[in-house]
Chains A and B, each alone.
Chain A
Amino acid sequence: MSVLHFIIILPFIFALICPFLYKIKPRLHTGWFVIPVPIVIFGYFLGCMPELQKGEALTAEVPWIPSLGINITLYVDGLSLLFALLISGIGALVVLYSIFYLNKTKEALGQFYFYLLLFMGAMLGVVLSDNLIVLYGFWELTSISSFLLIAFWHQKKKSLYGALKSMLITVFGGLAMLSGFVLIYIMTDTFSIRTIVSNVDRIADHSLFVPAMLLVLLGAFTKSAQFPFHIWLPDAMEAPTPVSAYLHSATMVKAGLYLVARLSPVFAGEAGWFWLVSTSGILTLIYGSYRALKQTDLKSMLAFSTISQLGLIMSLLGLGSAAAIYSGTDEALFYVKATMAGIFHLINHAIFKGALFMVVGIIDHETGTRNIRKLGGLMSVMPVTFSIALIGTFSMAGLPPFNGFLSKEMFFTAVLNIMEMDVLHMQFIGIIFPIIAWIASIFTFIYSMLLLFRTFTGEKKFEQLAKKPHEAPLGMLLSPVVLASLAVVFGLFPNLLSYTLIAPAMAAIHPTMLLPGQQFDVAIHFWHGWTPEIFMTIGVVAMGTLFYMLHERLKVLNQPLFTTVSLNRSYDGGLKLLDKGAKGLTNRYMTGSNRHYLIYIFIFLIVSISITMSNSANIRFDFTEFAPMSVYEAVIIGALIVSVIAVPFARSRMMAIIWTGSAGYMVTLFFVIFRAPDLALTQMIVETVSVALFLLCFYHLPKLKKELVSLRFKLLNLIVSLGVGVTMTLLALSASSERSFESISDFFIKESYNMAGGKNIVNVILVDFRGFDTLLEITVLGIASYGIYALIRLKLEPEDTSVASGFWESGSKLPVNGARSNDVILKTIAKLVIFIILTFSLFLFFSGHNEPGGGFIGGLMTAAAFVLLAMAFGMKTIREVIPIDFRKVSAVGILVALLTGIGSFLYDVPFLSHTFGYQNLPLLGHSELATAMLFDLGVYLTVIGITMTIILTIGRDK
């Protein structure tokens, strides 16, 4: 853990405590607790700046999954620093703004700041991770936090729609990007970006190089809202305005740009990279600016404007990659200018767009509407807001002396430079870039002016507004004022940024371009003389002003152009189709019929086992070492087969149950033959208790009807079941013929007495070696018994406990075929036998560690005694004689077992470690005491409790 790691974790820590802060101190706006976080982070990264300026990078590593090459490696170079400062700096301003924007009594602030900090941490993670997989994780986390923030006002349907849309599109891109990363890993054997960049020569000719590039770009384009994936961004405007300012204009949407810049050193030499990045960028630029013209909602206008500006930066990054094509020559430095313009504009855009979003938020907040048609004349009542808006829009339109002017000029330089390229056919088509750039700039100019003048000048329509407009409170103006001042400062003194932020970032994007000691020439000049760029700007202003005047009259500027074909409509339609298709497909096999599901499972079982067996070289059938069989055993096998086959043919319930029971007793006999005394005992008791259970449920169950089913139904069942039977026979034969690997049983046989002090190996495995399994098992049993209890209690009519008399309730009235059981004999014998059974069960329990027996068997035996009591004397007697709540007994049992396990922590050994020793006890003499006994006591109690709960609840039911 380094300071760097701590910086990333800091927002997450605060995110976790935010909801509590909100609850503890509802009077104070939660934002005040949050705001130190971005300020501290911003300060930290400012402190890093001098070091990075010297070309040194910060790194810190914490191993995560080293075997897969996944480590949380943080790496700060110029590019990361730039983004980290943006994230924390804008973050601090946005939090400050939100304190005044969000009402502390009406909004769920705890949640809001939780999501916001989650985003902040994730976004920092994206820009600081050197490991691609870690980067991907943070990347998706930004998508998720964006989803949560867009849906913050989740009562609104449009919020949910927008949230889902953004999630689907960005996560789709994220997954594509992940597969791109995997391809990169296949090529380079590493996830570390630095290592990939330094080995880039080796992978450029790899066949996976282009697919990897396309997939990575898909991730970047969806995140940065490039055409045609931009459709989520306008709908994301349903988020509270601070969120739009932060995520959807300044930071998250720039993650795609970051990714392109970060991986530029890897892919930039590829012609496809140059083409895709620059053309999709320039197309997005013109499309976004054109669509922004037509919006009447201020936020939608800013959304499309953001799309177009993102396109601008994207195209600059693409054009900058031309430098890699000319790598090693002086011309490379000529094209690097595009990258410089891109980085500079990225900063400028964050500043002026952030300010504009906050302005729109203020307008929305103070007037109650964002509709440009309802607004006008606000200048007189909101002078400060107007000034901020003026700086923001002029900067966006590229007018001097604001920062946007400088980067717009540099953008023009870059697109003009591109015409000089003599490869990739640019000498013929290069001219298209300046033309599109120029037209898009005109559009940008027009909507910037519309935004400013339609809102703040013109006729006042205050009577149409929901609120009487007035200037925003000071706190709300603070953040946009800071941003607007920055727009002016960076416009007048651009070189404040050039060597501190821009040059180090460029060095990260073009690592091989510079010789040691060399530096990019990034000095930004205000005036270059009468260059083509300045004429282009003058043209933009002239044409822009003209079209602004004509705006009302020109349909092409203010009406939707394509009404029939719309990307949004195809998204909606596609989603609906997908939904329907998925539902249709699922309904085809998810029929709701239990039988169908079972058939799938069994067919899968048959197929998978047969394939595995036929592919295994080790499988053979060797009958030579098989054990001999006596006549007696043959008879049992015959009886087992006959009773089992009789079950499906049984005519009545009773017969079916009896045949099943008889099969169970045959299995018990097998356990005896195969030297498994514990099993035989358990199976016998379970079978007996089960019969009691069957009889209890008997009268509740429906009569066994002859099933009227088609032959096809029966035939399919028969085929499937025969298939399973044959597969299992083969499996049993092959498994007993050959051991593919050494069994662990020998360990148990050898160590049972040495390590656990028990001679009954089966019991030792249960309570000691595999005690954890047993603990979970009794828990499952407990759940089953509570399930039964709940099912029985589940009654629609109110329960009347006073007359709750089951048919066992008032004594033994078991009417079997009309006859009654002989009470006297049963009762007399039961009185005697019960004590014998109980004593025997205690014996079984105590001897369990060394002889057959143990908690399970003892518990079942005790329960059997109680069942006998119930059969002879009725449930009432049981409750009178043993006034215990058996549900509590099972709970206590589980608790005892659990505490035995936890007890081992006191001795600093792993959970459920047992120990044993020998003590001289009064009466019993020299005896062994083991903690395993205590655990077994837990099992014993649980089994009694559970069995009795089951029997008693069922018996009590009417």
Chain B
Amino acid sequence: MELYMSLAIGVLFTVGVYLLLSKSLLRIILGTSILTHGVHLLLLTMSRLKTGAAPLLGEKAASYVDPLPQALILTSIVISFGVTSFFFVLAYKAYQKLGTDDMEQLRGERDE
């Protein structure tokens, strides 16, 4: 399972990075979303999969899966929601004001 998950993570990262490097702001935002998914699955996979019950002590299981990455991911999901929404607003405001979403055209003027 870990092997296939690792491959899936690779795909997520590849596509996420590829989208990040493109010119369109919309693609970049979607890229960050996919990259975030990749990171979440990576965190989960790193701590081994399916090693026990859900980390709820009420289950009274012999072993539980690692709760630490889950706490990290939970934080990350909520944060990335905030960041994605901010990105979206930034993108469409920039588009409204500047009339383009092409990163090459949005790039800053050189000094001097």
Contacts and interface: CB of A to CB of B under 8 A. Distances in A.
Contacts of A673: 50
A766 B57 CA distance: 16
Interface string B24-68: 111110100110011011101111111111111110000011111
B57 A761 contact: yes
Given A663-B37, A725-B10, A950-B85, A774 B23 contact: no
B93 A791 contact: yes
Interface in A747-773: 748-749, 752-753, 759-762, 765-766, 770, 773
Contacts of A602: 17
A947 B75 CA distance: 15
B93 A792 contact: yes
B82 to A, nearest CB: 4
A841 interface: no
Contacts of A721: 13-18, 21
A765 B1 contact: no
Nearest to B88: A697
A698 to B, nearest CB: 9
A655 to B, nearest CB: 11
Nearest to A672: B54
A457 interface: no
Given A675-B50, A694-B88, A787-B86, A656 B27 contact: yes
A743 B66 contact: yes
Contact of B6 (A707, A729, A860, A947): A729
Contacts of A678: 70, 74
Which of B17, B65, B107 has the most chain A CB atoms closer than 10 A to its own CB?
A: B17
Contact of B66 (A745, A759, A850): A745
A788 interface: yes
B38 A728 contact: yes
B101 A701 contact: yes
The dominant DSSP class at the A interface is helix
B23 A707 contact: yes
Interface in A514-543: none
Contacts of B50: 627, 673-675
Please classify how large the interface on chain A is, using the bins under 10, 10 to 19, 20 to 34, 35 or more: 35 or more
A701 B27 CA distance: 11
Contacts of B93: 791-792, 794
Contacts of A60: none
Given A595-B21, A728-B9, A856 B107 contact: no
A759 B57 contact: yes
Given A595-B21, A694-B88, A724-B14, A689 B81 contact: yes
Given A648-B18, A667-B41, A791-B93, A777 B5 contact: no
A798 to B, nearest CB: 16
Interface in A690-723: 690, 693-694, 697, 700-702, 704-705, 707, 709, 717-718, 720-722
B1 to A, nearest CB: 4
B26 A761 contact: no
A943 interface: yes
A899 interface: no
A407 interface: no
B24 A707 contact: yes
B107 A686 contact: no
B37 to A, nearest CB: 5
B54 A676 contact: yes
B3 A626 contact: yes
A633 B1 contact: yes
Contact of A705 (B7, B24, B40, B96): B24
Interface in A294-328: none
B31 to A, nearest CB: 8
Contacts of A629: 1, 4
Nearest to B90: A791
B51 to A, nearest CB: 8
Nearest to A633: B1
A667 B37 contact: yes
Contacts of A591: 107
B49 A598 contact: no
Interface stretch (A259-267, A372-380, A731-739, A912-920): A731-739
A223 to B, nearest CB: 34
Contacts of B20: 598
Interface string A641-659: 1001101100001001100
A877 to B, nearest CB: 22
A307 to B, nearest CB: 37
A656 B30 CA distance: 8
Given A592-B108, A749-B64, A791-B93, A676 B48 contact: no
A80 interface: no
Given A697-B88, A745-B47, A770-B71, A781 B82 contact: yes
A697 B111 CA distance: 34
A405 B4 CA distance: 92
Contacts of A903: none
A609 to B, nearest CB: 12
A736 B6 CA distance: 9
Nearest to B55: A761
B28 to A, nearest CB: 8
Contacts of B2: 623, 626-627, 732-733, 736
A637 B5 contact: yes
A640 interface: yes
A717 to B, nearest CB: 4
Contact of A583 (B33, B55, B71, B111): B111
B70 A762 contact: yes
A784 B100 CA distance: 23
Contact of B42 (A709, A731, A765): A731
Nearest to A737: B2
Interface in A558-572: none
Given A627-B1, A648-B18, A946-B82, A701 B42 contact: no
Given A697-B88, A788-B86, A761 B64 contact: yes
A331 interface: no
Contacts of B90: 791
Nearest to B103: A594
A519 B80 CA distance: 76
Contacts of A946: 82
B35 to A, nearest CB: 9
A782 B78 CA distance: 12
A648 B4 CA distance: 22
Nearest to B57: A759
Given A583-B111, A851-B58, A744 B68 contact: yes
| 3 smallest beta-carbon distances between A and B, as pairs | A725-B14, A729-B10, A700-B92
Given A686-B81, A730-B6, 13 more contacts: A591-B107, A594-B103, A702-B26, A704-B27, A725-B14, A726-B10, A761-B56, A762-B67, A765-B71, A780-B82, A788-B86, A792-B93, A856-B78
Interface of B: 1-28, 30, 33-34, 37-38, 40-42, 44-58, 64-68, 70-71, 73-75, 77-79, 81-86, 88-93, 95-97, 100-101, 103-104, 106-112
15 contacts: A587-B110, A663-B34, A675-B64, A676-B44, A701-B26, A705-B24, A718-B18, A720-B21, A721-B18, A721-B21, A732-B6, A745-B66, A748-B67, A762-B67, A954-B89
